[in-house]
Structure 1
């Protein structure tokens, strides 16, 4: 079996691990109705899914110094089967929050193991491969609100998790078969210490954390509570809100494909700065507009721009890191930035329940993001930031550029 076929199996797996952390956003309103609480108060549930995604990333980095990457990727599928079943029987907010956290674990473990593996399967097309892989994940994001809407027509929202569990099991079996029939790269065999990788690559890790942390915090707070935001601030009903959330995610499908290719061809840092700056401006503008058409247009633009950040950032990190540090350094970066952005929806939900309006909260966060990114742009112009890998080069060829 070729590496391309294994890549296809990984794309199938990422569909389900990504839906595991995104499915809670469209479930906020029906779950809140069942539990007789406000939707904003369930921001803790969506934050739990993202905290779950953040928490295993550093331990997974350690596991990668002891076990092959594909072993961990397979284990995440088995974990998702079990945690989805647990969540399907949630009868309280506490149970749902615990289930969200546990399901989030699978996505965190998967991305830390799979993304370095993909960069090593296709070392001369890192951005393009990660873009295609991200597109598969994004299809899950697009389908999540529509899937929930379909389930609610015929059954209750808990049934969603039974479907996820069953389909994740099938995908896990497929990945096991694919890895057994593929000649896998051995690029990560020299990566044996998180501490060594952290000391060697701390500047690159810190740069990545600042970029993704500031944008991800705002994005997490926006999309996880988007339906309630549109209802409360824009007067858009819940069903239409779910469609607009799906539209926002749909815009990410071409974003992954296009930006993955761009990241292989153009300097990564200016590309990332441009993406995050545009995102912060668009969120601010969203708080000012009224009417369904204007909100729909902003939803599309925001969705496209923010999803462009992910393949650009992963290409920046993975193309810059040498074989002996890639898995560990990427885990350190990913664990830290995920912990920061995971707090977004909980912070926004808390602010709203304490009397701040959604618009004021999002305006404040978008201005803060803009200030930080302006500072990063000045640092880049002054030569203080690692420039990342040379577009089009292999990861090892890019090490010199990454140490600038």
Structure 2
């Protein structure tokens, strides 16, 4: 008799709840009262490993059990509240008999690969600058090393897109997962700035192979009428990575080390490579899409919809780069603890995830993507302006929540726009350039403002104006064809 997925969720949930109580109730008093630092180091590592397993079982149950999305959301929230796992277990035990198990959906593996790729990115945010400093990197080079990942990621994205169209997404996913996991393990051997630069170049490039292939795989296996909703659901895993990644790496790195954090992420990548080899091989199909009427197959992918999607991707991540660069500085200048920056970033991620998973995701199949794109980029621009004027804890949380709404509207919109504007046989290349625009946006957002002689407030204001100008551009060019300028 097969064990029910809810049973696995209950077991890992109880283990997570127990490890959290031991960490808070035993390990932390041993450290802060009796000075035994090793207690938190050991228990923090154990709890981190259990938490990752718990998140994976939540994802497993979410796709195998026919139940409301509110259950996995509640399970995730319970992980951060003492004793909540035990209450949830009591509820799940009674509910288990009421929910049937549906056949395994291979899309779970694709979603998990997307999660891995983005948690690889977001886990770097709180720790990379300090890690670079710890190996003797100068202040001038720290910013360069942080941005080097996204810069080399661009070339990996483009190569992935080209090769995905030639050999199919499965092989590229396998190569990307294995090489990225190996690159993450290289951080254990870094002991100098030069070696760190080499590892960052390798890591960024091979990690860039994954996302275009994963999104192409997902897009080519989705019927037209559900593309917007499917992209929104995929965005859920991006949002979860944005929520979990910084908190996970920040906490675990403080208890262990940065290389240990990357080793944990590498193990997740290796696990997914094994699962992909088992479940995705038979789905490695190069689908022909003869239903496309808006693009003649002349060997080029560039048209109005595609270029708007690329610009949307660039400005989305330009905004993210500014947030990553300026928000911690803004919080620090207001006299708040640096932990508030992580909480604020999680706030926008939580809001975005809720919009992705709740019935609100139907909007992406019912409203033209150009409209939701315009609203999304507009809200993000307004949020940047408001951040510059926010000086209290509450106002910052409210504004980042508004930013999350804009992000949630924009991300599925540009993906849906790209899917509708490209045939399946050219979609890999389209996604390669798309995520190259993502990577360049991060580099531009974090580095350009660093070069300009602007205050923190002026940086947010300039970003807000740029985003609102782009929203205006989209409105007035809704019915015009864009041309590619070299």
TM-score w.r.t. length of structure 2: 0.70
Greater mean alpha carbon deviation, residues 164-173 or residues 256-265: 256-265
- Choose which of 364, 371, 378 in structure 1 pairs with 2:469: 371
Q: Distance in 2 between matches of 1:39 and 1:174?
A: 41
Contact map agreement 1:46 1:346 (CA 8 A) in 2: no
Q: Distance in 1 between matches of 2:336 and 2:129?
A: 13
Match of 2:222 in 1: 122
Q: Distance in 2 between matches of 1:185 and 1:278?
A: 39
Shift in Å, 1:82: 0.8
Q: Which has the higher contact order (CA 8 A, sep 6+)?
A: 1
Shift of the 7–111 alpha-carbon distance from structure 1 to 2, 3 Å rule, reads same
Greater mean alpha carbon deviation, residues 254-263 or residues 288-297: 254-263
Shift in Å, 1:184: 4.7
Q: Distance in 1 between matches of 2:190 and 2:331?
A: 27
Contact map agreement 1:26 1:227 (CA 8 A) in 2: no
The structure whose Rg is larger is 2
Shift in Å, 1:207: 1.8
- Choose which of 432, 437, 453 in structure 2 pairs with 1:331: 432
> Per-residue CA shift, 1:123-182, capped at 9, x if unaligned?
2311222222221232122111221232134212232111111121111111111113x4
Residue 251 (str. 1) matches residue 347 (str. 2): no
- Choose which of 360, 366, 372 in structure 2 pairs with 1:265: 366
Q: Distance in 2 between matches of 1:250 and 1:307?
A: 10
- Choose which of 227, 237, 240 in structure 1 pairs with 2:328: 227
Contact map agreement 1:53 1:108 (CA 8 A) in 2: yes
Contact map agreement 1:87 1:99 (CA 8 A) in 2: yes
Shift of the 174–318 alpha-carbon distance from structure 1 to 2, 3 Å rule, reads same
Residue 290 (str. 1) matches residue 391 (str. 2): yes
Paired residues in the alignment total 375
SS of 1:122's equivalent? coil
Shift of the 4–344 alpha-carbon distance from structure 1 to 2, 3 Å rule, reads farther
SS of 2:480's equivalent? coil
Match of 2:165 in 1: 65
TM-score w.r.t. length of structure 1: 0.83
Shift in Å, 1:356: 2.5
Contact map agreement 1:130 1:260 (CA 8 A) in 2: no
Contact map agreement 1:24 1:100 (CA 8 A) in 2: no
Match of 1:359 in 2: 457
Match of 2:151 in 1: 51
Contact map agreement 1:18 1:141 (CA 8 A) in 2: yes
Q: Distance in 2 between matches of 1:229 and 1:177?
A: 47
Greater mean alpha carbon deviation, residues 101-110 or residues 283-292: 101-110
Shift in Å, 1:187: 0.8
> Per-residue CA shift, 1:293-317, capped at 9, x if unaligned?
1112212221332243111111111
Structure 2 unmatched ranges of 5 or more: 1-63, 65-101, 291-295
